[in-house]
Structure 1
Amino acid sequence: MSVINPAASVVEIRGAVKHYRAPEGHLVRALDGLDLSVGANEFVTLLGPSGCGKTTLLRTISGFEQLDDGELLIQGRPMNRVPPHLRPVHTVFQSYALFPHMSIGDNVGYALDVRGVGKSEKRQRVGQALELVGLAGMERRKPGQLSGGQQQRVALARAIVDRPALLLLDEPLSALDRQLRQAMQRELKNLQHELGIAFVFVTHDQEEALTMSDRIVVLNGGHIQQIGAPADIYHRPANAFVAGFIGESNLFEARVVGLRDGITELSDSQGDLLRVRHPGLALGQQVQLMLRPEQFHLQCPGEGFAALEGQLEQLLFIGRDFELLLRTRNGRMVKAVLRDAAQHGVQGLRPGDSLQLWYGLEAAHLIPGGA
């Protein structure tokens, strides 16, 4: 499923299997024959619900967990039995795990002390690492004298000072408030490009994954559901799980009931009629379609659009956007998100009003293997 050339891969995982024994006594496969490549200078995010295997996968790369089966290579070298401290990898955890009694400089340089790096080189490399994360000149401060965001930067500096081939990040921003988290997202992405090394990032935040990643790996039940660029994952989900997990979506189970003039007519499971432009469908075929909430319009933009009709169930203002819930004539709830620019047509609406939501005939995504 990976598009990365294995010859250029920093990490290559083949047929990874990892079991855990549940409290009830049975075995649970956290990783079930998983394959993944991570390329040089690539930002890859592992994304999925709790228990999907993303943290287990990260821990097997770092060496804190051992695979039950399969092969792990880092820079082309087998790593299955190599202990964590001998792998060219560092991990940044959600908890910063800084030594409170040590200065920032000593915290950052701890790994260099362990490796026996001389004082002069250590001082230089600690200074460079702190400068990269925007903390130059703070070597003598203690962790307790820094804000949460600054402590996170110290943890990053400590992870990069030893110049690893790969940096693993296990939900490192989840403890930060929203504004600081967004600022740190930008800094992390810039830092990754400056360092020129691969990042493997674990998060439960979909927006974070879509914003920061070169590729997203969507996991569920120990299996990879889809690997791709953020835009591909969002607009062209590989299956119903990805469509439902990434962002918000309206999913329609439907049957083809008409084909004419290049337009396909479908009747969904509740009897509502959909019109789309999807060549290759046949009469009677069962399909599954996805329409994202932001693909709807309150007024028809022109030719090539169709409408869903019903009554307005709910109208919410959510910052820049308006969120609408439409109850179709057959009782289906459809969510639409309209940009603030459409407010002149939205503010006069009231629950119970008759409404049409317009969508492009080519906007609906056909879920592969759906229905």
Structure 2
Amino acid sequence: MTVFPQSVAPVVEIKAAVKHYRAPEGHLVRALDGIDLVVGANEFITLLGPSGCGKTTLLRTISGFEQLDAGQLLIQGRPMNDVPPHRRPVHTVFQSYALFPHMSVGENVGYALDIQGVGKAQKRQRVGEVLELVGLAGMERRKPGQLSGGQQQRVALARAVVDRPALLLLDEPLSALDRQMRQSMQRELKNLQHELGIAFVFVTHDQEEALTMSDRIVVLNGGHIQQIGTPAQVYDRPANPFVAGFIGESNLFDTHVTACDDGIAFLMDSQGDLLQVQAGNLQAGGYAQVLLRPEQFHLDRPGDDYVALQGRVEQTVFIGKDFEVLLRTGRGKPVKAVVRDASRLAQQRLHPGSELQLWYAREAAHVMAGRA
């Protein structure tokens, strides 16, 4: 089987990219506001963010369907600002598969090779290789209407990579699939990217998809990059409250540092609840925002470095191996926790209305810059 070659230099370099749109009211909106991004060889990058954050605009500027108003775009070291889409070593897979209904699977996949004038024998070999790669070997003669949604998605992917682009762009290609098929295709896409040895840039608003598939995640909001990092980095150590709130579930506390002693910072949040975290660079009199993920809480104290939040249980939901608990502290702060109790003995302790302590490790609390 042919292995597609990897580039040595970065596949994509974007420098100070700016893109404006004119709103219906007449004013200019900056969809991209000074974006800098580098995509490495054989890297799976996900652009993640809410609707209107700039992720699709960024993807379209890479593909050439949108032109930058300012900044520079390079693909494999070559300036691309003025290069039309069909001359860029890039292919895009869209939400709609855009297959030719009157053509067979093999004809759809080999269409780009026909345009390039590839000989019949070589075309047949390459189409066969890529169909085998996406799990559709032997289906060359079927029409798109004879395929399931997941199979049509695979045909679209095969067509996009058969002529060996340097980069594959994917604009929410799994959004039309049901949950089970999406999860299956997530694994297949990641395996396909590894087999092909080319860079993928994937657009989604689904955080689970981004965390599952990516080498790095680019979190966007308002035309700005909020954070770039591995899935673990953006989940465990978000750069700011937006990232913390957008990726995963979070408990955020706006706090004032009341004291620091022996490496421990003592904080009071805006509602009067007391917290403790590792001091780090915190100083008494300063402000900080503290993130605690629901799964970081425990029903019993696991060790000396754990401190408690105390309150009253408002709601408990059993979700298989875990309990999802909504606690309200004495000061009125809602806190969400996901706790495990294999023996189910926790059910009495988690009864709505009961008093409860939730324990967390000081080092587990993630501290971000706060405001006065």
TM-score, normalised to structure 2, is: 0.96
- 2:138 matched residue in structure 1: 137
Matches within 5 A, 1:82-101: 82-101=83-102
Q: Secondary structure at the match of 2:344?
A: helix
Shift of 1:183: 0.9
User: What 5-or-longer segments of structure 1 have no aligned partner?
Assistant: 1-5
Identify if the C-alpha distance between structure 1 residues 54 and 354 changes in structure 2 by more than 3 Å, giving closer, same or farther: same
- 1:114 matched residue in structure 2: 115
Q: Distance in 2 between matches of 1:261 and 1:57?
A: 47
The alignment status of 1:333 with 2:334, answered yes or no, reads yes
Q: How many residues are matched?
A: 366
User: Cα deviation per residue 1:299-342 (whole Å; 9 max; x = unaligned)?
Assistant: 11121100000100111123443211100000000000123637
Q: Which AA in structure 2 matches 1:127?
A: G
Q: Which AA in structure 2 matches 1:129?
A: V
- 1:255 matched residue in structure 2: 256
User: Cα deviation per residue 1:124-169 (whole Å; 9 max; x = unaligned)?
Assistant: 1111110000000100000111111111000000001010000000
Q: Distance in 2 between matches of 1:357 and 1:247?
A: 19
Shift of 1:199: 0.2
User: Cα deviation per residue 1:204-261 (whole Å; 9 max; x = unaligned)?
Assistant: 1101101110000000111101001110000011111111111111111111123333
- 2:287 and 2:369 in contact (8 A); partners too: no
User: What 5-or-longer segments of structure 2 have no aligned partner?
Assistant: 1-6
Shift of 1:114: 1.3
Q: Distance in 2 between matches of 1:25 and 1:226?
A: 31
| Worse overlay, 274-283 or 109-118 | 274-283
Q: Which AA in structure 1 matches 2:266?
A: E
Q: Distance in 2 between matches of 1:143 and 1:343?
A: 50
Q: Distance in 2 between matches of 1:177 and 1:330?
A: 42
Identity within the alignment, %: 77
Identify if the C-alpha distance between structure 1 residues 370 and 336 changes in structure 2 by more than 3 Å, giving closer, same or farther: farther
- 2:4 matched residue in structure 1: none
Q: Which AA in structure 1 matches 2:198?
A: I
Q: Which AA in structure 1 matches 2:167?
A: L
Shift of 1:117: 1.2
Aligned structure 1 segments of 4 or more residues deviating by more than 4 angstroms: none
Identify if the C-alpha distance between structure 1 residues 44 and 316 changes in structure 2 by more than 3 Å, giving closer, same or farther: same
- 1:205 matched residue in structure 2: 206
Matches within 5 A, 1:54-93: 54-93=55-94
The alignment status of 1:147 with 2:152, answered yes or no, reads no
TM-score, normalised to structure 1, is: 0.96
The alignment status of 1:43 with 2:47, answered yes or no, reads no
Q: Secondary structure at the match of 1:341?
A: coil
- 1:3 matched residue in structure 2: none
Q: Distance in 1 between matches of 2:96 and 2:230?
A: 29
Q: Distance in 2 between matches of 1:69 and 1:153?
A: 36
- 1:278 and 1:362 in contact (8 A); partners too: no
- 2:106 matched residue in structure 1: 105
Identify if the C-alpha distance between structure 1 residues 83 and 320 changes in structure 2 by more than 3 Å, giving closer, same or farther: farther
Q: Which AA in structure 2 matches 1:164?
A: P
Q: Which AA in structure 2 matches 1:177?
A: D
Q: Distance in 2 between matches of 1:47 and 1:342?
A: 38
- 2:298 matched residue in structure 1: 297
- 2:264 and 2:278 in contact (8 A); partners too: yes
- 2:268 matched residue in structure 1: 267
- 1:236 matched residue in structure 2: 237
Q: Distance in 2 between matches of 1:156 and 1:259?
A: 55
- 1:256 and 1:286 in contact (8 A); partners too: yes
- 1:45 and 1:202 in contact (8 A); partners too: yes
- 1:239 and 1:369 in contact (8 A); partners too: no
Q: Distance in 1 between matches of 2:112 and 2:342?
A: 53
Q: Which AA in structure 2 matches 1:334?
A: V
Q: Which AA in structure 2 matches 1:214?
A: D
Matches within 5 A, 1:150-165: 150-165=151-166
